[in-house]
Structure 1
Amino acid sequence: MNSEISTQTPTPIYPLGEMTLRLSSTPRGARLARRLTQQQLVEWGHPYDGEASRTAQQIVAELAANAVTHGRVPGRDFELRLLLLAEDTLRVEVSDARGDRGLRIVREADSEGGRGLIVVTVLATAWGVTERNVGKTVWAEMQLPQSVSSRRTP
């Protein structure tokens, strides 16, 4: 399994690209997270209907659904953060305000209730949980094909 529990977020100081949004902790907010991910990948040069876009949307959908279903705290939003770490690496971070389940998430990936995290495990090169002052961040990294904008024509 490509999971780990960490107490620090190993993100670079200067990513190549970043998008951070707070969305309502509702099913509608989770759907919006998925659509905004697709839009951001297009802006970073990955086709609207390409494999990278579909994979990133699926990871975001699973993490956002978990945030609004299991990490919801009334009156608190969840946060979606996309980081382009290199031309070929995307990091997805979904943060919620409920921290009491942070360390149980990895164990639940093997249980009946953690099927969405199994999908993340298959699609991501690495994923984990990072505790925050308020709540937790579940993150996943995936490989991206070379973007359309960075391809050189012969």
Structure 2
Amino acid sequence: MNQETADPDTQLGSPIRNFSVLLSPTPRGARLGRLLATEQLRTWGIPLEAASHVVAELAANAATHGRTSGRDFRLTLYVVGDTLRIEVTDTRGDHLPVLNPHPPSEQEDGRGLLLVEALADRWGVTPGPPPRKTVWAELSARPTHHP
């Protein structure tokens, strides 16, 4: 589920950290993903606020828009150097996320990617083997302490 390795190519031998979990494509699975990610980031000493919001939005999108009955989505966190990469892979590669910079004010949803855009240094979508896609975001992640 989670792993730490020392990569000789990283500066000063900083470990590469990763965490990955399969979750049900439901609101409960999305909440569990946010909670698990928050606890993992806390153990790594990574600042939580922006990262937990990005995880929550990407996981909620996977549970809402990437949902396929009987197929889980995967949440993966990587820390390499000072960069945290959050990936959410679902099985709706035919349904790509669209950033709507001006959602109607009366519309209750459609603002999640605006939040991701505001909090992440960069984000995007990578097609996977059919029928998958991965929505990812990268944030600066200078640890608050070294575990």
Match of 1:80 in 2: 75
Q: Tell me, what secondary structure is at the counterpart of 2:123?
A: strand
* Partners of 2:59 and 2:67 in 1: CA distance: 10
Q: Tell me, what secondary structure is at the counterpart of 1:58?
A: helix
Match of 2:90 in 1: 96
| Unaligned segments of structure 1, at least 5 residues | 1-12, 47-51
Aligned residues with identical type, % of pairs = 49
Matched ranges for 1:31-42 at <5 A: 31-42=31-42
Match of 1:109 in 2: 100
Deviations 1:44-75 (A, max 9, x none): 123xxxxx212111000000000000010000
Q: Tell me, what secondary structure is at the counterpart of 1:148?
A: coil
Q: Tell me, what secondary structure is at the counterpart of 2:28?
A: helix
TM-score if structure 2 supplies the norm length?
A: 0.81
Report the structure, 1 or 2, having the larger helix content: 1
Higher relative contact order (Cα pairs below 8 Å, separated by 6+ residues): 1
Match of 2:143 in 1: 146
Q: Tell me, what secondary structure is at the counterpart of 1:114?
A: coil
**Displacement, 1:145?**
2.9
TM-score if structure 1 supplies the norm length?
A: 0.77
Match of 2:5 in 1: none
- In the alignment of these two chains, the number of paired residues is 129
* Partners of 1:53 and 1:89 in 2: CA distance: 13
* Partners of 1:143 and 1:109 in 2: CA distance: 24
* Partners of 2:102 and 2:73 in 1: CA distance: 24
Matched ranges for 1:24-35 at <5 A: 24-35=24-35
Match of 1:59 in 2: 54
* Poorly superposed stretches of 4+, deviation over 3 Å: none
* Partners of 2:36 and 2:49 in 1: CA distance: 12
Match of 2:125 in 1: 129
Deviations 1:128-149 (A, max 9, x none): 0000112210000001233312
| Unaligned segments of structure 2, at least 5 residues | 1-8, 104-108
